[in-house]
A = this chain, B = another copy of it.
């Protein structure tokens, strides 16, 4: 029997706060009846919503928090104002104190990362954390990191991202040796900026516990060419938002085209099942949950605007990561390569 797993939820985070978080947790509980929750947030707002979900209520503890971190608050301000007293802070603190095994929040990403780094600290040997997204591909899913935590990651940090992303993909997809690619603007060795070229050299030449598949380009991500796509936070963030925007744009075009004539409307009606299947496949709530990697603990960030299903998905990602020992795996991989990583660090500087 698997031991009870306790998840700390930032109940006030997200565009709709507890109105999504609580039904989302209830849905996740249906699929994982052995999980328990600690809900951090405004107790009077949480109470009636929890009353409506008696099964969830039976497996939840509520801890009142005086302060809600706002979605548009600057991380530095959230860190000051929300210290000790915000639900977000308290949830992460519960993880640090081993009261919970993971944190899920749909709140302010910058604040969540700032507090997580402050409270949990990065794992030994990890310089900077990363946010890893789960990206739908033609063949399934892949992991893309970093999508916004570490803007301008250098070669050494990109190599750390590769190790962390590989560990996550292994936990998520159950693959023993997920393939790892470096995002670049061409597949030839001469292409790219200095950090990408140097990271490629390190990944090729160093004996790391991962399968490095070389450079990949933007259009290779959705093609599922590799299981893990590594890039620095600025480019990764632009890439994921561009893909989301393009998906919306095309489905918008499709809707317009199908509504244009009576004949196309009839066709759309008959092909309704196909469109539902397409919608299902593109549904962002099916792929919700950005995993913070490189910290002493599992923190999963849900989209702020997600729905109940999406929030449940984010909780399930957290469960997967805990059950498959993500943090332990990253820690041991990093320990294994630490000596290897140290040597080229000096070389890199002298190049």
Residues on A lying within 8 angstroms of B by beta carbon are 72, 74, 137-138, 148, 151-152, 183, 185, 188, 190, 192-193, 196, 217-223, 231, 233-235, 237-254, 257-258, 260-261, 263-275, 277-278, 281-282
Contact = CB atoms under 8 A, between A and B. Distances in A.
A243 to B, nearest CB: 5
Contacts of A248: 219, 222-223
Contact of A193 (B152, B261, B271, B274): B152
Q: Which interface residue of A217, A239, A268 has the most chain B CB atoms within 10 A? A: A239
A261 B243 CA distance: 28
A248 B185 CA distance: 18
Nearest to A76: B190
B251 A250 contact: yes
A250 to B, nearest CB: 5
B234 A193 contact: yes
Contact of A277 (B185, B193, B242, B257): B257
Contacts of A148: 185
A147 to B, nearest CB: 9
A223 B245 contact: yes
B264 A273 contact: yes
Contact of A249 (B137, B245, B266): B137
Given A137-B249, A247-B250, A264 B271 contact: yes
Given A148-B185, A270-B270, 15 more contacts: A72-B188, A74-B188, A74-B190, A218-B239, A238-B238, A239-B239, A242-B243, A242-B246, A246-B250, A257-B277, A258-B274, A260-B277, A263-B270, A266-B271, A271-B271
A278 B249 CA distance: 11
Given A151-B192, A237-B185, A274 B261 contact: yes
Contacts of A238: 183, 185, 217-218, 231, 235, 238-239
14 contacts: A151-B185, A185-B237, A217-B238, A219-B244, A219-B245, A219-B248, A223-B248, A235-B235, A238-B239, A243-B246, A254-B254, A254-B274, A254-B278, A257-B278
Nearest to A279: B257
Contact of A268 (B235, B253, B274): B274
A279 to B, nearest CB: 9
A263 B263 CA distance: 15
A219 B231 contact: no
A180 to B, nearest CB: 17
A274 B247 contact: no
A272 B267 contact: yes
A231 B217 CA distance: 17
Contacts of A275: 257
A233 B275 CA distance: 36
A274 B245 contact: no
B240 A218 contact: yes
A145 to B, nearest CB: 14
A35 B223 CA distance: 41
A134 to B, nearest CB: 15
